[in-house]
A and B are shown apart, each in its own frame.
Chain A
Amino acid sequence: MAGVELKSIVKAYGAVQVVHGIDLDVQEKEFVVLVGPSGCGKSTTLRMIAGLEEISDGELTIDGRVVNNVAPKDRDVAMVFQNYALYPHLNVAENIAFGLRIRKEGQKAIDDAVEEVSGILGLRDYLERRPADLSGGQRQRVAMGRAIVRRPKVFLFDEPLSNLDAKLRTQMRAEIKRLHKRLGVTSIYVTHDQVEAMTLADRIVVMHDGRIEQIGTPMELFLNPVNSFVAGFLGAPPMNQIKGKIVAGSNGPAADLGGQHIALAPLPGLQNAVGREVIVGVRPEYAQIVTEKQDGAIMGELDLVETLGSEALLHMSVGGAPFVIRTETLGNINKLEAVKGFTAAPELIKVFDAKTGMALSGQTRVE
């Protein structure tokens, strides 16, 4: 088991550069999730680590060895593909054993390994079946079995759950997490599903247009996004972002949101910032509903109430901008239709520069 280090990794297809110098240090046994919108270069990065794509520039190290020019089979990494890529002409046992057979392991060792892996993944009853005769979840498991049977140094996953229905996805997500706890193999996992990223990752890497926007633990990224892109990417629904201007409030800084003032925490980034164009970010979970005009509250019009069971999403319009509030239904259910605005604790409000998108507010901590 080992770490993976990317130093200024670049990928160009001809004249078109799609990954622009990525630095990432994945620790031994760590579970790192690459997340970002479609086309941002996640798969390309993963495939460079796998050795399926050439690295145009930079240095890739696995377990302390530079592997830029090492063939995939000699990197000792295993990959789970989005479409599984199970060999259709082989049954489950043969699919799992394929890599060992190629590496000329003894029959006894192969049988033992298949036995163990199929036990871990609950595939014992399906060993004789062909992939065509398996359900989506079972195929997914076989694909994982094929990866873990070799005990590689690193697991790579490229959107392994995106072909499953929602329920199965949740279940397999938990299984992957359990498997990682059990085997402790360094893992790099690509997804564009931010829930998968939040639940699985030790650290999340948010990518955008071939660059890394931020690296951190799920909570770090959730609470303290470095810019408005990360803020808008993580969280469901994402952070509300409203254009505004810094003004001097009655006690400490405030932001003017089209005539209404919202109080901000007296953070270093906001000193001498009066007049600055900003984006004010409020997570739907951190907005408190109000049903009457009150001091410090921001008022808007309620468009739509979506009840999800324990929670409800209130879609509002604040000075023309959309704003979503997520609130408990318990004890509130009769008030929801009467909501007229929200309040938010100043220390939970994020402020970003309107031009650069960079965060101006300081660190938020949750104890």
Chain B
Amino acid sequence: MTNMNLYSRGDKMFVILNMVLIALFTLSTLYPFIYIASLSMSTGFEARAGNVILTPVGFTLEAYKQVLSEPQFWNSYKNTFIYTIGGTLMSLAFIIPGAYALSRPQLYGRRFWNLMVAFTMWFHAGMIPFFLNMRDLGLLDSYFGIIIGFAVNGFNIILLRNFFEGIPQSFEEAARMDGANEFQVLWKVYLPLSKPAIATVALFCVVSRWNGFFWAMVLLQDDSKIPLQVYLRKVIADLSDDEEFATSLLNAAYSFETVSAAIIVCSIIPILLIYPFLQKYFSKGILLGGVKE
């Protein structure tokens, strides 16, 4: 524990202010989670009435029963997994070799290619042309369209490229002397050394795929292919438009607020579960000891 006596008055104020700000920040991040979780476990009546603030009011799991008994929920849940896993693997399959190539000094036209990739970070064609492009390629309403259409992302490529560039060139040279070809250099030396960076990029891909909403809504008409986020929106839109449903449920155990909250909780859980699994890669300094500068 810090010894506060070592601080001057001004320093003490500063430390206290810091702690207060950090506490506020933590609360503001955590509160929506707590609120949604509590909402999903409250009765529909209390939720409608706006009585849920911190803890569940009139505890019930009725909303979950409703959600989990709906086949469309499970189907879109499955779709989200397909888009997330398929999309992340596809992204890594493009991003890793692309970033590696761009990091090699011997790449012909390296500056040009790097510029081309960086260019896409600031400028793109825009929504309508992209939609038309996907339509003309026959990629509407298809799993593959969603997966391939967003597989490559300039930011992730540059991120990983910078990491590869930071790995001393002599590892590549040693591997080449040892008989490795380009592919083996990447696979057996650079990839194992880049686990933290690849985990970071993979997490970015996973999160953006998991939360991906807008383009899935635009590109997918077929309800059997929509992901969870689009399904959630559909539920909210359908139920809240339905006056009759709303009034008939005045006293019911669930309402569309609690149902949507339950869907949100269900959709957050997998991401929360995978983060600790990836996190171990973030703190490790694996490059240590291999070379001496």
Contact = CB atoms under 8 A, between A and B. Distances in A.
Interface stretch (A79-87, A242-250, A264-272): A79-87
A85 B289 CA distance: 9
Contacts of A130: 289
Interface stretch (A132-140, A251-259, A283-291, A335-343): A132-140
Contacts of A103: 179
A136 B178 contact: no
Nearest to B288: A132
A132 B175 CA distance: 18
Given A99-B178, A102-B179, A103-B179, A87 B288 contact: no
A132 B289 contact: yes
B interface residue count range (under 10 / 10 to 19 / 20 to 34 / 35 or more): 20 to 34
A163 interface: yes
Nearest to B189: A87
A73 B173 contact: no
Contact of A85 (B168, B180, B288): B168
A119 interface: no
B181 interface: yes
B293 interface: yes
Contact of B179 (A50, A52, A99, A136): A99
Contacts of B171: 85, 87
9 contacts: A51-B176, A52-B173, A73-B181, A81-B170, A83-B168, A86-B174, A86-B291, A130-B289, A146-B178
A150 B256 CA distance: 70
A78 B177 contact: yes
Interface in A140-177: 146, 150, 163
A139 B292 contact: yes
A130 B193 CA distance: 13
Contacts of B288: 88, 132
A134 B288 CA distance: 11
Interface string B280-293: 00000011111111
A150 B179 CA distance: 10
A229 interface: no
Given A83-B293, A86-B174, A98-B188, 16 more contacts: A52-B173, A71-B176, A83-B170, A84-B291, A85-B171, A85-B290, A87-B174, A88-B289, A89-B192, A98-B178, A102-B178, A102-B179, A136-B292, A139-B289, A139-B292, A146-B178
Given A83-B293, A85-B291, A102-B184, A72 B286 contact: no
Nearest to B170: A85
Contact of A73 (B180, B188, B189, B293): B180
B177 A79 contact: yes
A239 interface: no
Interface in A61-75: 71-73
Interface string B258-293: 000000000000000000000000000011111111
Task: Name the residue in B180, B181, B286, B289 with the highest tally of chain A Cβ atoms < 10 Å from its Cβ.
Answer: B289
B181 A84 contact: no
Given A85-B168, A85-B170, A131 B290 contact: yes
Contact of B289 (A50, A72, A102, A133): A133
A73 B177 CA distance: 5
Given A73-B179, A102-B178, A81 B173 contact: yes
Contacts of A99: 177-179
A226 B189 CA distance: 47
Interface in A85-112: 85-89, 98-99, 102-103
A344 interface: no
A133 B287 CA distance: 12
Given A73-B181, A89-B192, A83 B291 contact: yes
Nearest to B192: A89
A77 interface: yes
Contacts of B175: 87, 98, 102
Nearest to A158: B170
A72 B170 contact: no
Contacts of A133: 289
A169 to B, nearest CB: 14
